[in-house]
Amino acid sequence: MDYTWDFEVVVRNFPVLLRGVVVTLELWAIAFPLGMVLGFVISLGRVSGKPWLNTPAIAYVEVFRNTPVLVQLIWFYYAFPIILGHQLGPFAAAILGLTLNTSAYCAEIFRGGIQSIATSQWEGARALGMTYSMAMRRVVLPQVGKRMLPAFTNRAIELAKVTSLASILTVHELMYQGRLLSSTYYRPLEILTVVALIYFILIYPGSYLSARLERKLALRD
């Protein structure tokens, strides 16, 4: 291998990559909380006994979990505006796709948590005169919050990786900036390697903490 590495081009263009990091973080910081909130609402439909709430919630979750994320993003960018009758910008389409995708997975986490609580707890809350929403807030969620935490941190890590697909919709996040630089300077080896390292530095602390947290919670049980 007689290739001479040249990281000078990466150093010189580092601000371009950093601008990409900011957009990556924006995508993540917007889509994750929105996905969680929407996921909670869908999980309520999912655990409901009423079929007109239950069936659409199941269909929603299954559609998002059984199709590739990239297809979803492309659909929201190129197809959805046709029904909507209004063009979506790449960033808005990416946020929409990422949020809905995350919400389907979060709905399953909430459902698992809610269903792990014994029915006697619901009955007890009922007997004390609590309404459904009171029982949910005061009895069920406080108990399952901790149990769901590892699953949510895993989702957050998955989403951080999936934001890179927004580059296909020309959102100027880290991967897009990396591809732009590598085709401008013909230095894909150095630039793509550095992009991979930046992602690793962004994501590894999260997965390290989540693994520690999981071990700690497992010990306590």
Partner 1 sequence: MSYQWDFSAVFKYGDMLLLGLAGTVKIALISIVLGVIVGFAVALMRMASNPWLRKPATAFVEFYRNTPPIVHFFWFFYALPIVIGVSLDPFVAAVLALSTQSGAFYAEVFRGGITSIERGQWEGAKALGMSYRMAMQRVIVPQALRRMVPPFVDRSFELTKTTALASTLAYAELLYQAMQVNSITFRPMEVYTAVALLYFIVLFTASSLMRVVEYRLARLG
Which stretches of the chain bind partner 1, using CB under 8 A?
A: 1, 3, 62-63, 66-72, 74-75, 78-79, 82-83, 85, 157, 161-165, 167-168, 175, 178-179, 182, 188-189, 192-193, 195-196, 199-200, 203-204, 207
How crowded is residue 208: how many other Cβ atoms within 10 Å of its Cβ?
10
- Spatial separation of the C-alpha atoms in residues 194 and 177, rounded to whole Å: 12
- Spatial separation of the C-alpha atoms in residues 162 and 94, rounded to whole Å: 10
For the bound state, the minimum distance from the C-beta of residue 124 to partner 1, rounded and expressed in Å, comes to: 32
**CB–CB of 175/94 below 8 Å?**
no
**CB–CB of 97/69 below 8 Å?**
yes
Closest CA to 176 of 15, 4, 16, 9: 16
CB closer to partner 1 out of 135 and 175: 175
CB closer to partner 1 out of 35 and 178: 178
Half-sphere exposure of 105 (CA within 13 A, CB side): 23
Residue 78 makes CB contacts below 8 A (sequence gap 6+) with none
For the bound state, the minimum distance from the C-beta of residue 129 to partner 1, rounded and expressed in Å, comes to: 40
CB closer to partner 1 out of 122 and 188: 188
CB closer to partner 1 out of 7 and 78: 78
For the bound state, the minimum distance from the C-beta of residue 70 to partner 1, rounded and expressed in Å, comes to: 5
For the bound state, the minimum distance from the C-beta of residue 204 to partner 1, rounded and expressed in Å, comes to: 5
For the bound state, the minimum distance from the C-beta of residue 142 to partner 1, rounded and expressed in Å, comes to: 30
CB closer to partner 1 out of 14 and 78: 78
